[in-house]
Structure 1
């Protein structure tokens, strides 16, 4: 067995005497000092590899190839490049498991150390051919693997973590695989509660007779630890107590794990006041085996403004704008003022829909781990289904039960006038929202995998006549990364709605279910699916059922395309599916930006009713669902 060793590369330096001799020669021959040798054009190739992957690696490593056009050189520089590439290419072969391979090179058919080569190159009138020849030989395999603990008493955790290495005897003896296995074992130790786990030693032997690489590791897991009370630094306007409580809820007193540390970091990010949050665990434990952690934060600007523009062929332009203060009183309170004008057609702005809201979000409720969102606003809507002028007030509390699951609940109040065909009647509703929300998707605006679902139940009481009813709604979507690289995604969406305690005609007009439009069944007019009156205007329903299937394909760069099928049903009865289904199909384009994809969809109704358009165009930001 031969044990490979690699001497350290030593850089030769010119002594002071040599430097003085060079300086004297340059002073004696100023013309020589100013004259630069001419550049030498050359070609370069790797031969005779058939393995395209190994060839690409060699071409990426060899500076003779990489610098050929970017950094022209002279005859002596070319010889130096080729000589320097030989050990680089040898290391590249070994890194891929070819420990018995060899590397050679020729310049104009001669070896790089041929004494006649410099003179030949100086006389060259055509580009000089350079050939780098790699002979990989057989690929070596992983031989014996030994994993030990330091100290030996820690053998149990190390033995369990070794199962995560992913390396086995008979695998190709690639350097990357060895280092990845080492990292996997260390990370497994850290996930099991050992924050100071480290590699205490590594020995690698290459046996050319067996064509095998033997590996011996020693891992020092260190003691198991729990998190100490965290510290937060870098805040300027935000109360330190809030930040410490936010991070402590996620980690203090709990067993160490990288996942818990990341949850605490995300909890600070979710406050919305920081540009960046970085977690820095201490390099040593406290005497009681607790791990101190410091979070370094950098605050965002206090205020922000923004807006969106959308368009539908049926109703025209929609414009919204907002102003936001992200840290109103120093406790990460967010105040958002927003206004929207929709259905802006060329005929009349008087038939447009207008909304204005003020929203205050508090990250804590009396230092309790629950977020409160209080909202007040006014709406004026002139829709095909109803006309409404109303004031809306709500207060919604949200408590996260886990990183993905949240519980919501809170009261709401609406008062104003609502009716049809311009005849409006007073109404006042008091309700209470209760629901669960799940979200483990990869992105808010452009998810490629995961599930997003919400279930809500909202009982209402009419102050005018004392009637009651409960609105139930379940909405879910899932995203499947079919191609494995997020370039081809299958998106599925479903919605079920029902009303309990009242018939369709007893339900307030805006609390009925409607379907159709860019957010539900594309190709149909907004709210048009379902029962209609004698004037062909939608009446809404007591139940809802919707399905959507969409294929999202990245094409090139930021461009993408989608194909979709949407279907929806609104029924007069209270059970979903009691109405007729309407189906729309279409195609769309996507342009990916930093704030989400710009969406352009064209939908066509397959079974339209009287008055439905032949097609509908939708433009907006973010995916359809």
Structure 2
């Protein structure tokens, strides 16, 4: 009977949400004489459907009535009236005032049925009270993380008036650190009536991982690995080494076609100044495997140094110096000169400058905002080494929140690379490639663009343009559906960027969060003939699973 009463309440709530505030529901239960069944009959008296009539406001001095009415979403003349919708719009009004420092603002409502129109007139009475200012900021709940790491992400400071937009942005920045499971705000009274202490309450997440495991992807095949990472590292905090917000990561992997190691360190605030510093050291080997787009064995040994600085709330600039030694072997004897000339060992010395605009609400699971990246890299020339080329890469992503917490993501990428000086051509391993899981799904890995006419191995190109549209719909907290459309191409010469012969694909997929790590499964259907083929292929599965078990 308790379950039945809960279901009746849901039905009643539904009716009231549709404007039937006086709905009455009764039920009777009858048994089946021949079978062990019970039949439940609901008797519903809907009553009148209430519609919003006039909406009026009084008591507002800080905000004009026009601004307040524009912020109402549900209680509007001609719309369905419900108590729940009324509560949500009251919260909208309070939010407007909270954003301007009126954190003690009260909104009282009164409703009346207008006998002449048979509609519900709504009247809001606003008691603004005084603007509140931040006195002290108190951090609570941080056991491992230093107070300074949290305070430097806060956009609101002591002495500021309370500002809802600054508090929301502070919460986003703290969430993007990846150190906390929960972030909450509260206030405490002080002896001065219009000053409040701001309480920042955090619940720390696990930031250190040690993983021994494996995975399989349609690009690297089977991979086994060992990985140690501390996202909240502190090299001075012996013996725990946590709390300063640094990032340290080491990963060693071996697999059927790829193996190597990576060591990475990043200090986001160098000497407590808002300048990031980091370095990477790596050795990566990939064996010849035509099915995943490699017509040769490749070994890259090198490292880089990184410096970065935030220029504004959403804009940052990063500079990177990279030095690599690249060795190419085991090219097919039947290959054309384009592949044969790459055999040997060469060094690359380059400097890259990148500008990033990032307004995403959550870098790990974005639902709204934009990501824009533009970079220019120069190798050789004044930096020495064997290869001279310049490269520019641009990326744009726009996230649109839709119904039921679903998200539409629009992405575009464009790149151009060109040799100069003593180099006659861009090295094979510095060109652009497309096709496969990360670019244009439905096609073989790296097979969209120029290919060797004899071995059918991809040669890459000097120009790339790719667009992606992806819709993500959450079914459960750990399971999401995806539908996508990909389009783009790679051209042999930089001057032919966007000149045509685009390849496109559509498909659907799953995004599953498991205890072993994220699992991504996509089924892409090519809409065009793949380079080097005579007929259009059927769909292709792209999948990957990584992280430890």
Pair in the same fold by TM > 0.5: yes
Q: Higher relative contact order by CA 8 Å / sep ≥ 6: 1 or 2?
A: 2
Cα distance between partner residues in 2 of 1:376 and 1:331: 22
Structure 1 residues 132-187: Cα deviation after superposition (integer angstroms, max 9, x where no partner): 45251x434445544222xxxx6243646532234345544432333233222111
> How has the CA–CA distance of structure 1 residues 139 and 547 changed in structure 2, closer, same or farther, with 3 Å as cutoff?
same
Q: Give RMSD over aligned pairs.
A: 4.4
Maintained 8 Å contact 2:304/2:321? yes
**Counting helix residues as a fraction of each chain, which structure ranks higher?**
1
Structure 1 residues 551-591: Cα deviation after superposition (integer angstroms, max 9, x where no partner): 6475976473645444312313455246x746353644325
1:357 CA drift (Å): 0.7
**Counting strand residues as a fraction of each chain, which structure ranks higher?**
2
For 1:593, the equivalent position in structure 2 comes to 513
Q: Match for 1:240 among 133, 138, 147?
A: 147
> How has the CA–CA distance of structure 1 residues 302 and 610 changed in structure 2, closer, same or farther, with 3 Å as cutoff?
closer
Cα distance between partner residues in 2 of 1:535 and 1:127: 72
Q: Match for 1:339 among 252, 260, 263?
A: 252
Q: Which deviates more from structure 2 when the two are superposed, residues 324-333 or residues 381-390?
A: 381-390
Cα distance between partner residues in 2 of 1:103 and 1:525: 62
Cα distance between partner residues in 2 of 1:128 and 1:565: 52
Q: Does 1:175 align with 2:90?
A: no
> How has the CA–CA distance of structure 1 residues 395 and 197 changed in structure 2, closer, same or farther, with 3 Å as cutoff?
farther
1:426 CA drift (Å): 4.2
Q: Match for 2:307 among 397, 420, 429?
A: 397
Q: Match for 1:429 among 348, 368, 375?
A: 348
Cα distance between partner residues in 2 of 1:144 and 1:341: 70
Within a 5 Å distance, the mapping from 1:72-471 to structure 2 comes to 132=43, 134=45, 136=47, 138-143=48-53, 145-149=55-59, 155-157=61-63, 159=65, 162-163=68-69, 164-166=71-73, 167-199=75-107, 201-206=108-113, 211-247=118-154, 249-283=155-189, 286=192, 289-301=194-206, 303-306=208-211, 309-312=215-218, 316-329=221-234, 330-342=243-255, 344=256, 352-383=257-288, 384=294, 387-401=297-311, 404-415=314-325, 417-418=327-328, 421=331, 425-440=344-359, 450-461=369-380, 468-471=388-391
Cα distance between partner residues in 2 of 1:128 and 1:387: 71
Structure 1 residues 416-459: Cα deviation after superposition (integer angstroms, max 9, x where no partner): 54567398544333322211223445665766665443211111
Q: Match for 1:524 among 438, 444, 448?
A: 444
Q: Match for 1:583 among 500, 503, 517?
A: 503
TM-score by length of 2: 0.75
Cα distance between partner residues in 2 of 1:95 and 1:550: 34
> How has the CA–CA distance of structure 1 residues 275 and 428 changed in structure 2, closer, same or farther, with 3 Å as cutoff?
same
> How has the CA–CA distance of structure 1 residues 281 and 576 changed in structure 2, closer, same or farther, with 3 Å as cutoff?
farther
Maintained 8 Å contact 1:515/1:568? yes
Cα distance between partner residues in 2 of 1:95 and 1:533: 65
Gaps of 5+ in 2: 31-36, 235-242, 289-293, 332-339
Cα distance between partner residues in 1 of 2:432 and 2:412: 17
TM-score by length of 1: 0.67
Maintained 8 Å contact 2:355/2:375? yes
Maintained 8 Å contact 1:413/1:430? yes
Maintained 8 Å contact 1:161/1:185? no
Cα distance between partner residues in 1 of 2:40 and 2:328: 85
For 1:571, the equivalent position in structure 2 comes to 492
Cα distance between partner residues in 1 of 2:23 and 2:460: 78
Cα distance between partner residues in 1 of 2:84 and 2:117: 21
For 1:72, the equivalent position in structure 2 comes to none
1:325 CA drift (Å): 2.1
Cα distance between partner residues in 2 of 1:446 and 1:302: 17
> How has the CA–CA distance of structure 1 residues 476 and 319 changed in structure 2, closer, same or farther, with 3 Å as cutoff?
farther
Structure 1 residues 233-291: Cα deviation after superposition (integer angstroms, max 9, x where no partner): 222233223332332x554554432221122223233333333322223356956x554
For 1:513, the equivalent position in structure 2 comes to 432
Aligned pair count reads 506
Aligned-partner SS, 2:272: coil
